[in-house]
Amino acid sequence: MLDINQLRYTYQPQHQHEHPMPLSFNFSLQQGDIAALIGPSGAGKSSLLALIAGFLQPDSGDISIHQQSIITQDPAQRPLSMLFQEHNLFPHLTVYENIALGVDPRLKLSAQQQQHVRDAAVNVGLEAYLTRLPEQLSGGQRQRVALARCLIRQRPLLLLDEPFSALDPALRNDMLKLVQQLAQQQAITVLMITHSPDDAKKIANKCIFVDNGEVKAFGNIDTLLNQPQQLDLRHYLGLTTI
Protein backbone atom coordinates (compact mmCIF):
# COMPACT_ATOMS: atom_id res chain seq x y z
CA MET A 1 0.00 0.00 0.00
CA LEU A 2 2.83 2.35 1.01
CA ASP A 3 6.13 1.77 -0.78
CA ILE A 4 9.17 3.75 0.30
CA ASN A 5 11.74 2.98 -2.36
CA GLN A 6 15.43 3.95 -1.84
CA LEU A 7 14.33 7.34 -0.50
CA ARG A 8 17.28 9.62 0.25
CA TYR A 9 17.60 13.08 1.74
CA THR A 10 20.58 14.90 3.23
CA TYR A 11 20.37 17.80 5.65
CA GLN A 12 23.25 20.09 4.73
CA PRO A 13 25.28 21.52 7.62
CA GLN A 14 24.20 24.96 8.79
CA HIS A 15 27.54 25.75 10.46
CA GLN A 16 31.17 24.95 9.69
CA HIS A 17 31.68 22.49 12.54
CA GLU A 18 28.58 20.42 11.60
CA HIS A 19 28.44 17.35 9.33
CA PRO A 20 25.78 16.55 6.70
CA MET A 21 23.04 14.22 8.03
CA PRO A 22 22.18 11.66 5.32
CA LEU A 23 18.84 9.83 5.60
CA SER A 24 17.97 6.71 3.62
CA PHE A 25 14.71 4.73 3.85
CA ASN A 26 13.40 1.59 2.18
CA PHE A 27 10.32 -0.36 3.36
CA SER A 28 6.71 -1.20 2.49
CA LEU A 29 3.45 -1.39 4.42
CA GLN A 30 0.33 -3.36 3.55
CA GLN A 31 -3.16 -1.82 3.64
CA GLY A 32 -4.50 -1.88 7.21
CA ASP A 33 -1.06 -2.13 8.82
CA ILE A 34 -0.49 -0.08 11.95
CA ALA A 35 3.26 0.51 12.06
CA ALA A 36 5.10 1.95 15.05
CA LEU A 37 8.09 4.08 14.09
CA ILE A 38 10.63 3.92 16.90
CA GLY A 39 14.22 5.00 17.37
CA PRO A 40 16.48 7.32 19.36
CA SER A 41 16.08 11.09 19.37
CA GLY A 42 17.57 12.55 16.17
CA ALA A 43 17.34 9.22 14.32
CA GLY A 44 15.23 10.68 11.49
CA LYS A 45 11.65 9.64 12.40
CA SER A 46 10.02 13.08 11.95
CA SER A 47 12.06 13.65 8.80
CA LEU A 48 10.68 10.42 7.33
CA LEU A 49 7.11 11.60 8.00
CA ALA A 50 7.95 15.03 6.53
CA LEU A 51 9.25 13.33 3.35
CA ILE A 52 6.09 11.20 3.04
CA ALA A 53 3.84 14.21 3.70
CA GLY A 54 5.73 16.29 1.13
CA PHE A 55 7.14 18.93 3.50
CA LEU A 56 10.65 17.82 2.48
CA GLN A 57 11.64 17.00 -1.11
CA PRO A 58 13.90 13.91 -1.34
CA ASP A 59 17.19 14.01 -3.25
CA SER A 60 16.31 10.67 -4.86
CA GLY A 61 14.03 7.64 -4.56
CA ASP A 62 10.27 7.27 -4.71
CA ILE A 63 7.18 7.07 -2.50
CA SER A 64 4.04 5.39 -3.79
CA ILE A 65 0.61 4.79 -2.33
CA HIS A 66 -1.45 2.06 -3.98
CA GLN A 67 1.23 1.79 -6.69
CA GLN A 68 0.92 5.49 -7.63
CA SER A 69 3.97 7.67 -7.12
CA ILE A 70 3.11 10.72 -4.98
CA ILE A 71 6.54 12.30 -5.17
CA THR A 72 5.52 15.17 -7.47
CA GLN A 73 2.29 15.95 -5.59
CA ASP A 74 1.92 18.96 -3.28
CA PRO A 75 1.36 18.10 0.41
CA ALA A 76 -2.37 18.94 0.19
CA GLN A 77 -2.90 16.61 -2.77
CA ARG A 78 -1.24 13.57 -1.22
CA PRO A 79 -3.64 10.79 -0.18
CA LEU A 80 -2.79 11.04 3.52
CA SER A 81 -3.60 12.91 6.73
CA MET A 82 -1.21 13.89 9.47
CA LEU A 83 -1.65 14.52 13.17
CA PHE A 84 1.00 16.36 15.19
CA GLN A 85 1.63 16.61 18.93
CA GLU A 86 -0.02 20.06 19.04
CA HIS A 87 -1.20 23.01 16.94
CA ASN A 88 -3.58 20.83 14.93
CA LEU A 89 -6.61 23.10 15.39
CA PHE A 90 -7.56 26.64 14.36
CA PRO A 91 -8.17 28.46 17.66
CA HIS A 92 -10.88 30.82 16.31
CA LEU A 93 -13.00 28.01 14.80
CA THR A 94 -15.45 25.79 16.70
CA VAL A 95 -15.12 22.02 17.04
CA TYR A 96 -17.70 21.63 14.27
CA GLU A 97 -15.80 23.99 11.95
CA ASN A 98 -12.43 22.44 12.72
CA ILE A 99 -13.77 19.01 11.74
CA ALA A 100 -15.62 20.44 8.72
CA LEU A 101 -12.33 21.82 7.36
CA GLY A 102 -11.46 18.21 6.54
CA VAL A 103 -14.41 18.14 4.12
CA ASP A 104 -14.14 21.60 2.58
CA PRO A 105 -11.52 24.28 3.41
CA ARG A 106 -14.14 26.98 2.54
CA LEU A 107 -16.60 25.45 5.02
CA LYS A 108 -19.40 25.30 2.43
CA LEU A 109 -20.97 21.96 3.27
CA SER A 110 -24.04 20.22 1.85
CA ALA A 111 -26.64 18.87 4.30
CA GLN A 112 -25.15 15.39 3.85
CA GLN A 113 -21.63 16.64 4.53
CA GLN A 114 -22.87 18.45 7.65
CA GLN A 115 -24.25 15.13 8.84
CA HIS A 116 -20.86 13.50 8.17
CA VAL A 117 -19.24 16.08 10.43
CA ARG A 118 -21.73 15.31 13.21
CA ASP A 119 -21.16 11.56 12.69
CA ALA A 120 -17.38 12.09 12.93
CA ALA A 121 -17.89 13.95 16.22
CA VAL A 122 -19.99 11.06 17.53
CA ASN A 123 -17.22 8.61 16.51
CA VAL A 124 -14.70 10.41 18.71
CA GLY A 125 -17.23 11.05 21.52
CA LEU A 126 -17.49 14.81 21.06
CA GLU A 127 -21.05 15.29 19.85
CA ALA A 128 -21.83 17.47 22.88
CA TYR A 129 -18.94 19.84 22.17
CA LEU A 130 -19.59 20.94 18.59
CA THR A 131 -20.01 24.64 19.38
CA ARG A 132 -16.99 24.95 21.67
CA LEU A 133 -13.70 26.61 20.74
CA PRO A 134 -10.45 24.63 21.14
CA GLU A 135 -9.47 26.70 24.21
CA GLN A 136 -12.61 25.38 25.96
CA LEU A 137 -11.45 21.75 25.56
CA SER A 138 -8.95 19.54 27.37
CA GLY A 139 -5.78 18.41 25.58
CA GLY A 140 -7.28 14.97 24.96
CA GLN A 141 -10.51 16.43 23.57
CA ARG A 142 -8.52 18.70 21.23
CA GLN A 143 -6.65 15.67 19.84
CA ARG A 144 -9.99 13.91 19.33
CA VAL A 145 -11.19 16.84 17.22
CA ALA A 146 -7.98 16.73 15.19
CA LEU A 147 -8.34 12.97 14.76
CA ALA A 148 -11.95 13.38 13.60
CA ARG A 149 -10.79 15.91 11.00
CA CYS A 150 -8.09 13.48 9.75
CA LEU A 151 -10.56 10.62 9.48
CA ILE A 152 -13.34 12.55 7.77
CA ARG A 153 -10.91 13.25 4.92
CA GLN A 154 -10.97 9.50 4.20
CA ARG A 155 -7.36 9.40 3.06
CA PRO A 156 -5.90 5.88 3.03
CA LEU A 157 -2.76 6.73 5.06
CA LEU A 158 -2.62 8.36 8.51
CA LEU A 159 0.69 9.73 9.80
CA LEU A 160 0.92 10.30 13.55
CA ASP A 161 3.82 12.30 15.01
CA GLU A 162 3.49 11.50 18.73
CA PRO A 163 0.03 13.09 18.96
CA PHE A 164 -0.82 11.60 22.34
CA SER A 165 2.49 11.83 24.17
CA ALA A 166 1.38 14.83 26.25
CA LEU A 167 -1.72 13.00 27.55
CA ASP A 168 -1.84 11.03 30.80
CA PRO A 169 -1.53 7.22 30.50
CA ALA A 170 -5.25 6.35 30.74
CA LEU A 171 -6.24 8.96 28.18
CA ARG A 172 -3.36 7.93 25.91
CA ASN A 173 -4.64 4.38 26.07
CA ASP A 174 -8.15 5.50 25.11
CA MET A 175 -6.81 7.47 22.16
CA LEU A 176 -4.68 4.56 20.93
CA LYS A 177 -7.69 2.25 21.11
CA LEU A 178 -9.78 4.82 19.25
CA VAL A 179 -7.19 5.12 16.47
CA GLN A 180 -6.99 1.33 16.20
CA GLN A 181 -10.77 0.93 16.07
CA LEU A 182 -11.37 3.74 13.55
CA ALA A 183 -8.42 2.69 11.38
CA GLN A 184 -9.78 -0.87 11.26
CA GLN A 185 -13.29 0.35 10.41
CA GLN A 186 -12.02 2.46 7.51
CA ALA A 187 -9.15 0.11 6.45
CA ILE A 188 -6.68 2.96 6.96
CA THR A 189 -2.93 2.32 7.13
CA VAL A 190 -1.23 4.06 10.07
CA LEU A 191 2.40 5.07 10.55
CA MET A 192 2.92 6.31 14.11
CA ILE A 193 6.03 7.75 15.75
CA THR A 194 6.21 6.77 19.39
CA HIS A 195 8.81 6.85 22.12
CA SER A 196 6.92 4.21 24.06
CA PRO A 197 7.43 0.55 23.11
CA ASP A 198 4.42 -0.23 25.34
CA ASP A 199 2.18 2.11 23.32
CA ALA A 200 3.57 0.55 20.14
CA LYS A 201 2.67 -2.96 21.34
CA LYS A 202 -0.85 -1.83 22.23
CA ILE A 203 -1.92 -0.96 18.70
CA ALA A 204 0.71 -1.77 16.10
CA ASN A 205 1.21 -5.00 14.16
CA LYS A 206 4.45 -3.83 12.50
CA CYS A 207 7.48 -2.00 13.83
CA ILE A 208 10.13 0.08 12.10
CA PHE A 209 13.31 0.82 14.05
CA VAL A 210 15.15 3.86 12.67
CA ASP A 211 18.65 4.68 13.85
CA ASN A 212 21.15 7.16 12.46
CA GLY A 213 18.98 8.00 9.43
CA GLU A 214 18.29 4.42 8.33
CA VAL A 215 15.76 1.64 8.87
CA LYS A 216 17.82 -0.81 10.94
CA ALA A 217 15.03 -3.27 11.72
CA PHE A 218 11.57 -3.85 10.28
CA GLY A 219 8.99 -6.55 10.90
CA ASN A 220 6.31 -7.98 13.11
CA ILE A 221 6.03 -5.95 16.32
CA ASP A 222 6.05 -8.89 18.74
CA THR A 223 9.15 -10.41 17.16
CA LEU A 224 10.98 -7.11 17.02
CA LEU A 225 10.19 -5.89 20.52
CA ASN A 226 9.99 -9.18 22.44
CA GLN A 227 12.97 -10.94 20.82
CA PRO A 228 15.15 -8.11 19.45
CA GLN A 229 18.27 -9.45 17.73
CA GLN A 230 20.13 -6.31 16.60
CA LEU A 231 22.49 -4.88 19.16
CA ASP A 232 21.47 -1.26 18.44
CA LEU A 233 17.77 -2.12 18.87
CA ARG A 234 18.53 -4.00 22.11
CA HIS A 235 20.52 -0.95 23.22
CA TYR A 236 17.64 1.41 22.35
CA LEU A 237 15.20 -0.77 24.32
CA GLY A 238 17.54 -0.68 27.33
CA LEU A 239 18.28 -4.40 27.18
CA THR A 240 22.06 -4.13 27.06
CA THR A 241 24.49 -3.18 29.79
CA ILE A 242 27.28 -0.74 29.07
Residues that bind ligand ATP (CB under 6 A): 11, 14, 21, 39, 41-47
| Nearer residue to ligand ATP within complex by CB, 21 or 71 | 21
User: CB–CB of 188/157 below 8 Å?
Assistant: yes
User: CB–CB of 143/164 below 8 Å?
Assistant: yes
| Nearer residue to ligand ATP within complex by CB, 41 or 67 | 41
Cβ of residue 21: shortest distance to ligand ATP, in angstroms? Answer: 4
Q: What distance in Å separates the CA atoms of residue 71 and residue 185, rounded to the nearest whole number?
A: 28
Cβ of residue 82: shortest distance to ligand ATP, in angstroms? Answer: 14
Q: Which CA distances in Å does 172 have to 12, 157, 163, 164, 181?
A: 36, 21, 9, 6, 14
Cβ of residue 239: shortest distance to ligand ATP, in angstroms? Answer: 19
| Nearer residue to ligand ATP within complex by CB, 97 or 161 | 161
| Nearer residue to ligand ATP within complex by CB, 165 or 186 | 165
> How many residues are present in the chain?
242
| Nearer residue to ligand ATP within complex by CB, 47 or 98 | 47
Q: Give per-residue burial for 11-20: e unless 16+ CB within 10 Å, then b.
A: eeeeeeeeee
Cβ of residue 61: shortest distance to ligand ATP, in angstroms? Answer: 16
Cβ of residue 84: shortest distance to ligand ATP, in angstroms? Answer: 11
Can you count the helices (H) and strands (E) in the chain? Answer: 8, 10
